[in-house]
Amino acid sequence: MKKIYLHKAKNQIARPNTIRDINKQIVLNYVRDRAPISRAEIARETALQRSTVSAIVDNLQFDGLVEETGTGDSTGGRKPTLLKLRTGVPVAVGVDVTPRQTTIALADLAGRILRKEMFPTSPDIDFMSAQIVEKVKNYALENEKYDLEVGISVPGIADQTTGKVLYIPYFQWSNWNICEQIAEKTGLRATVDNDANAIALAELWFGEKQNRKDRNFITVLVAEGIGTGIIFDGQVYRGDKGAAGEFGHMIVGENAPVECSCGSRACWEAHASEKAIRFRYRNLLKKGSSKNGDC
């Protein structure tokens, strides 16, 4: 479900053609970020009428996404009933593709993992497509009564408009239409993003309170590759063709300890990725063993 930023909520009230869905998202995001919160508080802080908020909350309760959790303090009348997210209800299937392993997980609105499984990532793109589609399909069949969506993170550049993975340097994959394949075989809507952007969004939604409040920060992902997720004014800054945070192949110096997936020994990934760190660590261990053996 789309994130609606609370500080802009009054300016984000939708026109009639999309009003129900967008207003539902606004209310749900208030419950997620401000729980426990009452219907009256949500109405006060947005441009929504109390009757609209109450109707939306009723729908969210019916869908099993929101539940009541006691009462708040009264200012003279009846004590307000407080709301919170209902945990344990699956809403999303997450797929995290990394060079070494792929993780598929079922999660609730609070970001809690309800179930997950992992398998080795193969350089064979067709094999990976089949594996991912099959496992997502199984999750969908096991949770037919829930309205699931699929989110995919990849170590490369993804096009948010087409849903295609444009390029993954480590495997030399290009134009991977994994979202389309999932939609065709499972009927579930799927979106894809760069792994560093996904981590930045997770920090924005579920991370440190100060980061959620500031809505302006950068996350740095150091793994087999190196990348950044940029959050500007509460949204991912993607730049031209989604490559804003792709600085891993920037030239910083020659003679790196390992060769990057691009073939260079002069870029950031060749100098500072996990692969480079592991190489240096193994060398230090060997030097330590040699010194001990000489004693």
Q: Is the pTM of this model over 0.75?
A: yes
Q: For residue 113, what are its two tokens?
A: 């993992």
pLDDT confidence of residue 69 = 94
Contact yes or no for 50/39 (Cβ under 8 A): yes
Rounded CA separation 210/216 (Å): 10
pLDDT confidence of residue 291 = 66
Question: Of residues 37 and 74, which shows the higher confidence score?
Answer: 37
Indicate whether 295 pLDDT > 70. Answer: no
**What domains can you pick out in the chain, each with its CATH number?**
6-85 (1.10.10.10), 90-198 (3.30.420.40), 213-280 (3.30.420.40)
Question: Of residues 13 and 209, which shows the higher confidence score?
Answer: 209
Q: For residue 119, what are its two tokens?
A: 């398998």
Indicate whether 63 pLDDT > 90. Answer: no
Rounded CA separation 130/88 (Å): 28
For the chain, the first-to-last Cα distance in angstroms comes to 63
pLDDT confidence of residue 19 = 81
Indicate whether 9 pLDDT > 80. Answer: no
Least confident of 69-78, 140-149, 187-196: 69-78
pLDDT, tens digit (0-9, with 9 covering 90-100), for 153-198:
999 999 988 999 999 988 999 999 999 999 999 999 999 999 999 9
Q: For residue 246, what are its two tokens?
A: 């792709």
Polymer length of the chain? 295
At residue 260 the predicted structure's pLDDT band, cuts being 50, 70 and 90, is confident
Residue ranges of E strands in the chain = 37-38, 66-71, 81-85, 92-97, 101-107, 113-120, 149-154, 157-158, 165-168, 173-176, 190-194, 217-222, 226-232, 235-236
Rounded CA separation 138/116 (Å): 12
Indicate whether 211 pLDDT > 50. Answer: yes
Question: Of residues 245 and 167, which shows the higher confidence score?
Answer: 167
Question: Of residues 33 and 132, which shows the higher confidence score?
Answer: 132
pLDDT confidence of residue 293 = 58
Q: Which amino acid is at 56?
A: I
Indicate whether 150 pLDDT > 70. Answer: yes
pLDDT confidence of residue 256 = 92
pLDDT confidence of residue 110 = 87
Rounded CA separation 215/58 (Å): 30
Indicate whether 1 pLDDT > 50. Answer: no
Q: At what angle do helices 19-34 and 50-62 cross, to 10 degrees?
A: 80
pLDDT confidence of residue 16 = 52
Q: What is the DSSP letter of 6?
A: G
* Number of DSSP helices (H) and strands (E) in the chain, helices first: 9, 14
